[in-house]
A and B are shown apart, each in its own frame.
Chain A
Amino acid sequence: MAESIPLLKIEDLHVQIEDKEILRGVNLEVKRGEVHALMGPNGSGKSTLSYALMGHPRYEITSGNIRLNGEDLLDMGPDERSRKGMFLAFQYPMAIPGVSVVNFLRTALKSVRGQDVPIREFRKDLREQMAALQMSDQFISRYVNEGFSGGEKKRFEILQMAMLKPGIAVMDETDSGLDIDALRVVSDGVNRLRETNPEMGVLLITHYQRLLNYITPDQVHVLVNGRIVRSGGKELALELEAEGYDQIIRDAQASDAAVVLPQEVTV
């Protein structure tokens, strides 16, 4: 792959749900091995971006582009995107009653790789990844996300990520609902995976700065009202933590009023 082609390139992305526009022109570029944090207040469109990246059928992309390794994702379903290396760690993972964790992981791995994984290799990798995430062996025979605590759900998302080894991991509020110990285990998991897969890109979507104490971002972006209004280094997260989103929201509204409104009127 040519060095100049970014891992993930989002260009002027507009997304609507049921005729309501949520993302209004998002631009973002993640290079191989980079960690980007996407922060923003509730309702700014963070989760919408994660679903749109993964290809949720209800999130309609009205214009713009998503490219992974230079390849246009828009015509692909979520399964195909996953096979191309996209991974979403869900904020609210779904329960699949009656389907064991081990069966689910093996099927997913086979689907993503396009071929069966030798059982010995699979077991070995699974055992190691689970140990690192401090998950007990009994976990594999439980049903996917059924009766899991909040922390177990998040760990399981990281376990899936560790097993599937995606090109880029989008982590949607993986820190929400975690106590400090669980947060550390989860972030260690991500960091470990980055060490073994240094090409992997990460897009961390979070409301709070605290996750960034454990996973250091190369860049921080602030999403407000469907647009990235500021980008910067990791110090931007600290600034937000100290000052809150209020000022940034006001600034964004002011610039919306000045620049965007006339455009919208013409639509």
Chain B
Amino acid sequence: MSATDDLKVEQDYKYGFSDPEQFVFKSRRGLDEQVVRDISKMKDEPDWMREFRVKSLGYFNKRPMPAWLNNQVLNDIDFENIFYYLRSTEKQATDWNDVPDDIKNTFDRLGIPDAERKFLAGVTAQYESEVVYHSIREDLTKLGVIFTDMDTALREYPDKVKEYFGTIIPPNDNKFAALNSAVWSGGSFVWIPAGVKVEIPLQAYFRINAENMGQFERTLIIAEPGSFVHYIEGCTAPVYSSDSLHSAVVELIALEGAHIRYTTIQNWSKNVFNLVTKRAVAHKNATVEWVDGNLGSKLTVKYPAIYLVGEGARGEVLSVALAGKDQHQDAGAKIIHAAPNTSSTITSKSISKDGGRTTYRGLLKVYEGCENVKSNVRCDALLLDDLSRSDTYPTMEIDESNVDIGHEASVSKVGEEQLFYLMSRGLTEEEATMMIVNGFFEPFTKELPMEYAVELNRLLQLEMEGSVG
């Protein structure tokens, strides 16, 4: 079938185009052990990984759908209708000229090669299930930095992968982590040697092109003692009339004194279920920051987590979500203080409009004996109209008394008086609303590299157009 047959044009989603579907291998629809074994065989994987996959499929089948989510929407996922693996090209390119034209065309339109030239230290581009392009600056390779796709890493650095893969998020952690563990493909493997600071960001770009596609990338970042890395991921997909599924697993390990910042700008089209498990471990004096922006998708379920396991470790989750019509952003954060003198910050900002729905779900846990823990949690929701909805479910489990915990939550509406004030300075109602929205997201935007901040503001503007008046 042609993927473009029932392409539905959605005006405000710039990335809704699709290219003709082409593949060198595509699994049949649906999921069973044979599909999982086929994927593993295609990839010529070692036995341990094949068994890991098969075992994970068992967990996935056994686990019921979580009942506490938006099941009205979640239960629409037809696992039997999804293609779990699609390889579009035989060979991974290290030069954009070697990427097949259709695929290259897609990434050109998304501006990736341009961005790489201008301000990135390395790029991987994943198209459907496989990474089709990959590059890293030579000076970083010389320093021993590894930045490659997960499949290549499994072949070329089997010991490193085996040591850490699935250790932070075990396959039976939750239903979607189990699914990813069974059918994972692509994603990034990053290893930063001790003391190396990668000052400019590494970027991965994820693109779903085919209809009813499942994308299950798997990312693992290990920062050795005293190192630093900023990893950025962006995601888009075409607009189809039926749904696609994105279910990633991301594991971060920050060893003593290391610093990992992981930035996401998720802008899936509104027919993508985005069910992602992200978790990090921060060792002694290490820092982990999740900077997580969720604009697109039909339903996003994602709570980036940080386990602070060494003294002096620091964790921060900074997230924004925008939910429009027929969208539900169920996002949040989990921070586990498992060592004394650890500190954390959670800042969550969400905007709901045109009947969209946002949910903040958070967990803050401090184990007994973890003295001098400091944590500050702040969730702000902004509603742009009476049709929209926002819910906050903060959970705190504090088993130590010598701690300093702050929590603030607010739900507000764009006020008539704020609009009047801005309009009295010449701004139209639309411009005034946009200014209030941009200001609301400012604590997030200011943490992004400039190019991304500009892009985010532009995306917000597209989302906001026509939603006033």
Q: Contact size class for A?
A: 20 to 34
Query: Contact between B439 and A107 (Cβ–Cβ < 8 Å)?
Result: no
Contact across chains for A78 and B423 when beta carbons are under 8 A apart: yes
Choose the segment among B191-199, B204-212, B385-393, B430-438 that binds chain A (4+ C-beta atoms closer than 8 Å).
B430-438
A97 proximity list for chain B (CB < 8 A): 439-440, 442
Instruction: Kindly provide the distance from the CB of A154 to the nearest chain B CB, expressed in whole angstroms.
Output: 14
Give the Cβ gap from A91 to chain B, nearest Cβ, in Å: 12
Contact call A94/B417, Cβ cutoff below 8 A: yes
CA distance in complex: A81, B420 (Å): 12
Q: Which A residues touch B418, using CB under 8 A?
A: 94, 96
CB distance A111 to B426 under 8 Å? yes
Interface residues of B in 405-452 (CB under 8 A from A): 415-418, 420-429, 431-432, 435-436, 438-443
Q: Which residue of A lies closest to B446 (CB)?
A: A98
Chain B at the A interface: SS class:
helix
The answer on a CB contact under 8 Å between B440 and A78 is no
User: Given the known A-B contacts A96-B439, A98-B439, A98-B441, are A108 and B426 also in contact in the complex, defined by CB atoms under 8 Å?
Assistant: yes
With A98-B440, A98-B443 as given contacts, are A112 and B425 in contact (CB-CB < 8 Å)? yes
* Residue on B nearest A145 in the bound complex, by CB: B421
Identify B428's interface contact among A79, A98, A99, A160, CB under 8 A: A79
Asked if A233 is at the interface (CB within 8 A of a chain B CB), the reply is: no
Please judge, given known A-B contacts A78-B420, A79-B423, A160-B425, whether A94 and B440 are in contact too, CB under 8 Å.
Answer: no
User: Are B439's CB and A82's CB within 8 A?
Assistant: no
Cross-chain contact A112 with B426 (CB below 8 angstroms): yes
Please tell me if A90 contacts chain B, counting CB pairs below 8 Å: yes
User: Given A94-B415, A97-B440, do A107 and B427 touch, yes or no (CB 8 Å)?
Assistant: yes
B423, A83: Cβ atoms closer than 8 Å: no
Residues of A within 8 A of B425 (CB): 82, 104, 107-108, 111-112, 160, 164
Chain A residue contacts of B443, Cβ below 8 A: 98
A58 and B440 alpha carbons, distance in the complex (Å): 25
A79 partner, pick from B415, B429, B439, B442, beta carbons under 8 A: B429
Q: B435 to chain A: which residues have CB within 8 Å?
A: 96, 99, 104, 107
Chain A to chain B contacts (Cβ below 8 Å), 10 pairs: A55-B424, A56-B420, A82-B424, A82-B425, A98-B438, A99-B438, A107-B425, A107-B435, A112-B425, A143-B439
Report A's interface with B, CB cutoff 8 A.
54-58, 77-79, 81-83, 87-88, 90, 93-94, 96-99, 104, 107-108, 111-112, 143-144, 160, 164
B residues at A contact (CB < 8 Å): 415-418, 420-429, 431-432, 435-436, 438-443
